[in-house]
């Protein structure tokens, strides 16, 4: 894996921190004064009821949205306005709640597109498939093949992804994010709409990515069982505010969290 730019961050250090992030769309406040951090090498879950602002938070982290107030610090650099391409270049990859793949392209091409930032040879060389460009293509193809093996999607290498069942599409999307060799991987409901078997596979992949590659993972998930099993720490949002932050066990005992999920008892 590529050496990270900037200061050396070891396991356990804060790699990404949101500080007092607020986000508004006109009159609607999606996030209000949210602060939390993500440590290198951990699996960090973001949970909360529907409309709590979880996806908005991910969108702020990878630059789709810019916080109206507050800032995001990534690898020691504070960036109030980061564009998605800058986030990607810095090592943030993500998947989407409703898969966003390049549907007309094959699995292989989708994963290769994930490496576009890493390919540098001029396009004249690439068009001619000659010399250094050819070597580069081969080298990246090799990296992509490793990911294909890792995710066990060899059989669908040349299938246009639009034709794949939903569970596999989600897996290809994870593969495309992995192809970027990210330092931080944002997963927006990686198990939504999956059956039990697919969920178990996905859990295994997430844990393997985290352990084998040391990739830091932030994930949004609704399946509480999954969240409690996978994550090292959990941040809980409700109506755009942070209501709890801690280990799964701590969060599970938190009264506000219980209230948010089960409804408040009106005395």
Q: 86 near 63, Cβ under 8 Å?
A: yes
Q: Contacts for 116-124 with beta carbons within 8 Å, 24 or more apart? A: 117/88, 117/89, 117/180, 118/180, 118/181
Is 103 a binding residue for other proteins by CB under 8 A? The answer is: yes
DSSP count for the chain of H helices, then E strands: 10, 10
Is 14 a binding residue for other proteins by CB under 8 A? The answer is: no
Half-sphere exposure of 106 (CA within 13 A, CB side): 12
Tell me how far CA of residue 148 lies from CA of 46, 76, 196, 213, 228, in angstroms: 28, 33, 22, 15, 28
Q: Which of 57, 72, 93, 153 binds other proteins (CB under 8 A)?
A: 93
Binding to other proteins, residues 202-261 (CB under 8 A)? none
CB of 233 to other proteins, least distance (A): 24
Is 89 a binding residue for other proteins by CB under 8 A? The answer is: yes
Which one of 15-23, 107-115, 236-244, 249-257 is the stretch in contact with other proteins (CB under 8 A)? 107-115
For other proteins, the closer of residues 67 and 248 by Cβ is: 67
C-alpha torsion 12→13→18→20, nearest 10: 100
What span, in angstroms and rounded, lies between the C-alpha atoms of 79 and 82? 6
CB of 156 to other proteins, least distance (A): 17
What span, in angstroms and rounded, lies between the C-alpha atoms of 93 and 39? 16
CB of 121 to other proteins, least distance (A): 8
CB of 162 to other proteins, least distance (A): 9
Eight-class DSSP state of 160: B
Is 101 a binding residue for other proteins by CB under 8 A? The answer is: yes
Query: The tokens of 211 are what?
Result: 């352990």
Q: Which of 2, 129, 142, 158 binds other proteins (CB under 8 A)?
A: 129
Which one of 38-46, 175-183, 210-218, 222-230 is the stretch in contact with other proteins (CB under 8 A)? 175-183
Q: Which residues bind other proteins (CB under 8 A)?
A: 62, 64, 84-85, 87-89, 93-94, 96, 100-105, 109, 112-114, 116-117, 119, 121, 123, 126-127, 129, 176-177, 179-180
């Amino acid at each position: 894996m590529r050496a990270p730019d900037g200061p050396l961050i070891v396991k356990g250090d804060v790699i990404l921190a949101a500080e007092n992030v607020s986000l508004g769309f006109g009159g609607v406040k999606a996030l209000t004064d949210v602060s939390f951090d993500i440590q290198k090498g951990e699996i960090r879950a973001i949970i909360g009821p529907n409309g709590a602002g979880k996806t908005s938070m991910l969108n702020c982290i990878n630059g789709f949205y810019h916080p109206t107030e507050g800032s995001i610090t990534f690898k020691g650099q504070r960036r109030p306005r980061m564009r998605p391409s800058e986030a990607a270049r810095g090592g943030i990859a993500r998947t989407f709640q409703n898969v966003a793949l390049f549907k007309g392209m094959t699995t292989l091409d989708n994963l290769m597109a994930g490496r576009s930032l890493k390919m540098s040879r001029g396009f004249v060389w690439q068009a001619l498939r000659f010399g250094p460009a050819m070597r580069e293509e081969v080298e990246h193809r090799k990296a992509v093949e490793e990911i294909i093996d890792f995710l066990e999607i060899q059989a669908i290498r040349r299938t246009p992804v639009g034709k794949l069942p939903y569970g596999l599409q989600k897996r290809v999307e994870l593969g495309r994010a992995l192809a970027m060799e990210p330092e931080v991987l944002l997963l927006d409901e990686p198990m939504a709409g999956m059956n039990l078997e697919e969920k178990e596979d996905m859990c295994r992949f997430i844990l393997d990515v985290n352990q084998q590659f040391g990739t830091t993972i932030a994930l949004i998930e609704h399946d509480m069982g999954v969240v409690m099993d996978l994550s090292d720490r959990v941040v809980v949002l409700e109506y755009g505010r942070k209501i709890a932050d801690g280990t799964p066990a701590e969060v599970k005992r938190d009264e506000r969290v219980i209230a948010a999920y089960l409804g408040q008892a009106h005395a």
